[in-house]
Structure 1
Amino acid sequence: MSAFAWVLVDGVSVQTVSAFDRGLSYGDGLFETIRFVDGVAPLWSRHMQRLHESGERLRLPVPDAALLLREACVVAKGLDQAVVRITVTRGLGERGYAPPTLPQPTRIVAAFAAPAMAGDAYVHGICLRWCETRLARQPRLAGMKHLNRLEQVLARAEWSDPSITDGLQCDTDGNVIAATMANLFAVIDGVLVTPSVEHSGVAGVARAEILANRAAAHVGDISRKDLLRADEVFLSSSVRGILPVQAVDDTVYVPGPVTRALQRHWRGLGFPMEQA
């Protein structure tokens, strides 16, 4: 049975794309994973902003946001809690890396049942580990949610322990950047901080929402030593929300007032979540 509730490829209900699509051949494309609650995506505008800005950087035409919303609502119909993945590739092209002069993008809109935003993870926190796989520093691609996720795939393959929810990755200079599936925040010396994603990592929409809500937050380099002395650590994800971190390997943390306040903010946006 398909894992999808429904899939539309260029508006047609199929689950296949051409073997010659540049998204498959070269990872030439972008994607967004968007949480819907009762047919509404509270962070829709932030997702569309990132998609269009990334499209401009890649010189990749991006479909109209209104069209994407209509198709997202179609595939998510019948799901009270859905995650809609929108994928845009450069479409078909001749063999070789040179992009077509007039690309005809492929758009894929698929819906999945969303993970529950409740339980001990939101109250007591999750356990993380350090990953050996580093993130390359490439400012021309940094921040975008492009289709090449091999660094995250290799990092996620480093463990199979079900008690470990995610892993933290550093860049090749040793700076802490993010978890494999989420952005990282910490409270250090009373200041909310998050790593810069100017050279590697993804500029998450949940991260953008937090930074808009917390104007005094600091964006910059964070070392592993910095994280060791943090008072609070949490992850942000547009799909899973605000997840307190209970431990990173042997370093233990306790969810604090900043984490709890942002969890309340998240509920206020319209995302259901266990009370904390």
Structure 2
Amino acid sequence: MLINGVPEERVSALDRGLLYGDGLFETLAVADGKPCLWRQHLERLRFGCERLRLTPPDPVLLDEEARREAEGHHRAVLKLILTRGRGGRGYASEHARAATRIVQLTPWPERDEAQCAAGVRVRQCRTRLGQNPALAGIKHLNRLEQVLARGEWSEPDISEGLMLDAAGRVIEGTMSNLFLVRDGRIFTPCLSRCGVSGVMRQQVLEACRALAIPLLERDIPLRDLWDSEALFLTNSLIGIWPVADLDGQPFDPGAIDRRLVEYVMERRFHSG
């Protein structure tokens, strides 16, 4: 782990990321010693910095640190964390010092990739997502809603939980974005009020444009899930997970356009 470029595992107790969740993070796949979809993750980090009025890190420096940590690893997970740095007591940020930059490498999660590709079990979560357009889309450090939602189940055969907002609209999974397939079209929840706009979600949007597959971003009520032919989940590590079962209702992974799956999965470990 590197903290501001130095091998270290400790941050100051006065760091605003620790005190207030004042910061951002990115989670990247590493393949054959290189961070995957680097440009896309860096663009989202810059967008989050603009939203939070954080000074973005030097991209050349961050690239050097990320590649130094990833070098020599066939498969791993790289996490980038950026906080506003140390600051005085209280929420006001004008006294914050230089941003804290953390680059952390961890092992690739142990999963049965073939089984996941065939379809995963998913459940609904009771914990709801609060609505806040100022934070919608970005991957900020405050993940307490996801922590509470993930604590709702312990069954090893359930891979993910779906989260709704306070108005009952379906938004995303605890660690993934959601897509529905119906009548030859793909739908994905609007993320203007809450939720994370994932890098792999963006890959799906681009794939649908390239393959001329109709895709709509809109509000999705819970009933739309049950009327769908197929559901699938995405994030930078899993690529695409078809949903085989949601709270006991089966779905057909075969209803997902194979061209889309191949397009996205082929780019899952792209280092661009």
> TM (normalized to structure 2)?
0.93
247-256 or 36-45, which moves further after superposition?
36-45
1:131–1:169 CA contact under 8 A, matched in 2: yes
Question: What's the counterpart of residue 41 of structure 1?
Answer: 35
Unaligned residue ranges in structure 2 (runs of 5+): none
Question: What's the counterpart of residue 54 of structure 2?
Answer: 60
For residues 59-89 of structure 1, what are the alpha-carbon distances to aligned partners after superposition, in whole Å with 9 as ceiling and x for unaligned? 0011022211211111122211111000000
Which one-letter code corresponds to 1:106 in the other structure?
Answer: T
For residues 215-240 of structure 1, what are the alpha-carbon distances to aligned partners after superposition, in whole Å with 9 as ceiling and x for unaligned? 33100111111010111100011111
For residues 155-207 of structure 1, what are the alpha-carbon distances to aligned partners after superposition, in whole Å with 9 as ceiling and x for unaligned? 00111111111100000010000010100001123210100111010000000
Alignment partners' CA distance in 1, 2:90 and 2:190:
33
2:204–2:264 CA contact under 8 A, matched in 1: no
Deviation at 1:246, TM superposition (A): 0.4
Question: What's the counterpart of residue 112 of structure 1?
Answer: 106
| Structure 1 residues 255 and 246: alpha-carbon distance in aligned structure 2, compared to 1, 3 A threshold | same
2:86 aligned to 89, 92, 95, which one?
Answer: 92
Alignment partners' CA distance in 1, 2:268 and 2:28:
13
Kindly indicate whether residue 119 of structure 2 is the aligned counterpart of residue 121 of structure 1: no
| Structure 1 residues 134 and 270: alpha-carbon distance in aligned structure 2, compared to 1, 3 A threshold | closer
| Structure 1 residues 259 and 234: alpha-carbon distance in aligned structure 2, compared to 1, 3 A threshold | farther
Question: What's the counterpart of residue 162 of structure 1?
Answer: 156
Question: What's the counterpart of residue 201 of structure 1?
Answer: 195
Deviation at 1:101, TM superposition (A): 5.2
Unaligned residue ranges in structure 1 (runs of 5+): 1-6
Residue 181 of structure 1 aligns to a residue whose secondary structure is coil
Kindly indicate whether residue 199 of structure 2 is the aligned counterpart of residue 212 of structure 1: no
Question: What's the counterpart of residue 271 of structure 1?
Answer: 269
Question: What's the counterpart of residue 65 of structure 2?
Answer: 71
Count of residues in Structure 1 that have an aligned counterpart in Structure 2 = 265
Deviation at 1:251, TM superposition (A): 1.2
> TM (normalized to structure 1)?
0.92
Which one-letter code corresponds to 1:128 in the other structure?
Answer: V
Question: What's the counterpart of residue 146 of structure 1?
Answer: 140
| Structure 1 residues 257 and 249: alpha-carbon distance in aligned structure 2, compared to 1, 3 A threshold | closer
1:24 aligned to 10, 18, 25, which one?
Answer: 18
Q: CA RMSD in A?
A: 1.5
1:134–1:170 CA contact under 8 A, matched in 2: yes
Which one-letter code corresponds to 1:244 in the other structure?
Answer: P
Alignment partners' CA distance in 2, 1:132 and 1:163:
19
Residue 34 of structure 2 aligns to a residue whose secondary structure is coil
Identity %: 45
1:143–1:197 CA contact under 8 A, matched in 2: yes
| Structure 1 residues 267 and 169: alpha-carbon distance in aligned structure 2, compared to 1, 3 A threshold | closer
129-138 or 77-86, which moves further after superposition?
77-86
| Structure 1 residues 223 and 270: alpha-carbon distance in aligned structure 2, compared to 1, 3 A threshold | closer
Question: What's the counterpart of residue 252 of structure 2?
Answer: 254
For residues 3-25 of structure 1, what are the alpha-carbon distances to aligned partners after superposition, in whole Å with 9 as ceiling and x for unaligned? xxxx0000000100000000000
1:115–1:240 CA contact under 8 A, matched in 2: no
Question: What's the counterpart of residue 228 of structure 1?
Answer: 226
Alignment partners' CA distance in 2, 1:33 and 1:259:
27
